[in-house]
Amino acid sequence: MRIGARRTISGVPSRESQAADPGSPRARIINAATKLFSEKGYARTTMSDIARASGLQQSSLYYWFRNKEGLLQETLLVNRAPLDFIAEVGAGSGSPAVKLYRLLRYDTLQLALSPIDFNEIQRIAHEQRSEFGQFWTDYERLKQWAADLIGAAISEGRFVDCDRDETAGLLLNFDEGAQKRTRLHTDEGDRADEAIRVAEQVAVIAVRSLLKRPSDITRVTAQAAQFDDVELALRVIRRQSD
């Protein structure tokens, strides 16, 4: 999000700019909604719950967000971090195999630690596709980037030949399944360590399965270890939790 606040002609900060200010009503609403969606689930959280948790009157809440779907869309913009990450990875060094490894590790880690249940998000977004167009656009961008990396590694002779688009979709499904594992089977205090372990495991299994020489995974993981992606993901999650 942009740090600099955009202001309206009257000098009052715009709704968009207030999202960058953690003390603004809009930011308080988003934080409260994220926490409640995590604790109660999206379906069981009401706008009244969110208003109370953010310390606002319900009428004030509707000034910022006209419905719960709009709030969920905003939490998605805050919590779906890999789209920012892929720009950094794409500009950096490393083979396509290493970049794919880094993407899968990062995506799995931030999903596993996210306060939002991604499976529930997908269900809602599927039922209301017109309302969640940006969600699907972002998801397709992530999938396409993974497919491009797979295609590049095939062209280099590093990966086995496969349907790159189908494979990219399956790999992202693999990442998303890891969230369920860590959310359901790990205590809150142990979740970060388990998420890191699972993220590495997912990336290893996925990339090794595509390599023509599976033993090359040792070199891929060693090169990926030179990048501090895990700490970056943890910092993003901490900011979202503050």
Residue pair 160/81 in contact (Cβ under 8 Å)? The answer is no
Same domain flag for 157 and 194: yes
Last-in-domain residue among 57, 76, 95? 76
For residue 132, pLDDT beyond 70: yes
Cα-only R_g, the chain: 19
**Per-residue pLDDT at 186:** 61
Same domain flag for 58 and 109: no
Same domain flag for 135 and 64: no
End-to-end CA distance of the chain: 15
Same domain flag for 86 and 197: yes
Same domain flag for 109 and 165: yes
Same domain flag for 129 and 194: yes
**Per-residue pLDDT at 9:** 33
Residue range(s) defining the domain that contains residue 229: 80-241
Residue pair 119/180 in contact (Cβ under 8 Å)? The answer is yes
3-state secondary structure of 117: coil
- Rounded CA-CA distance 197/203 in Å is 10
- Average pLDDT of every residue of the chain: 81
Same domain flag for 105 and 205: yes
pTM metric for this prediction: 0.75
Q: What is the pLDDT of residues 207-238, one digit of tens each?
A: 999 999 999 999 999 999 998 887 777 776 66
- For residue 187, name the pLDDT band (cuts at 50, 70, 90): low
Look at the chain and report how many structural domains it folds into. 2
Same domain flag for 131 and 214: yes
Structure-model confidence comparison of residues 94 and 79, the more confident one: 94
- For residue 191, name the pLDDT band (cuts at 50, 70, 90): confident
